[in-house]
Amino acid sequence: MSITGQAVHFFTAAPPLELLFILVSKIVEVTLGTLRQILINKGYRKQGTFLSFFEIILWTFIASRVITGIAAAPIKGIVYSIGFSLGVYLGSRIENYIALGQVLIQTIISRENGETMIASLRAKGYAVTTIEARGRDSDKQVLMIFANRKGKEDIIREIHRRDGTAMIITNDISALRGGYISSAKGLIK
């Protein structure tokens, strides 16, 4: 068989519908797996466990479909791998969209902008703790703001709108106990 014939056989050894099934199923399975890992890491164990059931069912059927006849149709392995990569990407995009969990946003702002920014953030229901600080050239305030990840970008935009030179640091929070937390913002799982 010629090289061209081998290449054609490589890509046509498995029916296109079977390859599409493998691709789509693998994307769904890995998306579920990515979400499961993120959920468990963020403390949503019940939801993560629920997803794992469907993930492993899909994995069992997809893997057996690929392994059976892979020597005759190695394109199945390539399609399987592409589905895996796309599933990781899609799962991380979905998690970023639903933005589970909480963040601590720390910002260093000029003292002149401090009081109006603090009042504005508290009026919107955010828990804000302040610390007086000294920068290289002037007095500063450090704000610590606890919020849901879903609203993180709104807070960052508000800080930059009021102080374009503000330094902003965000950290995911794995546990939070005590202190004042606005119930309107629903920080607790």
Apex 124 CA angle, 160 and 114, nearest 5 = 45
| Cα 104 from Cα 51, distance rounded (Å) | 28
Segments making up each domain of the chain, as ranges? 3-98, 102-185
pTM over 0.75: no
The answer to whether 107 and 168 have CB atoms below 8 angstroms apart is: yes
Confidence band, pLDDT 50/70/90 cuts, at residue 176: low
Q: Using one digit for the tens of pLDDT, what is the confidence trace for 54-111?
A: 999 999 999 988 888 788 888 899 999 999 999 999 998 998 888 878 889 999 998 8
| Cα 8 from Cα 11, distance rounded (Å) | 5
Please provide the CATH number assigned to the domain covering 102-185. Answer: 3.30.70.120
| Cα 42 from Cα 174, distance rounded (Å) | 6
Position 7 scores a pLDDT of 56
What residue has token string 């392994």?
Answer: 67
Q: Evaluate if residue 10 carries a pLDDT over 90.
A: no
Q: Using one digit for the tens of pLDDT, what is the confidence trace for 122-149?
A: 898 888 999 998 888 888 899 999 888 8
The answer to whether 185 and 148 have CB atoms below 8 angstroms apart is: yes
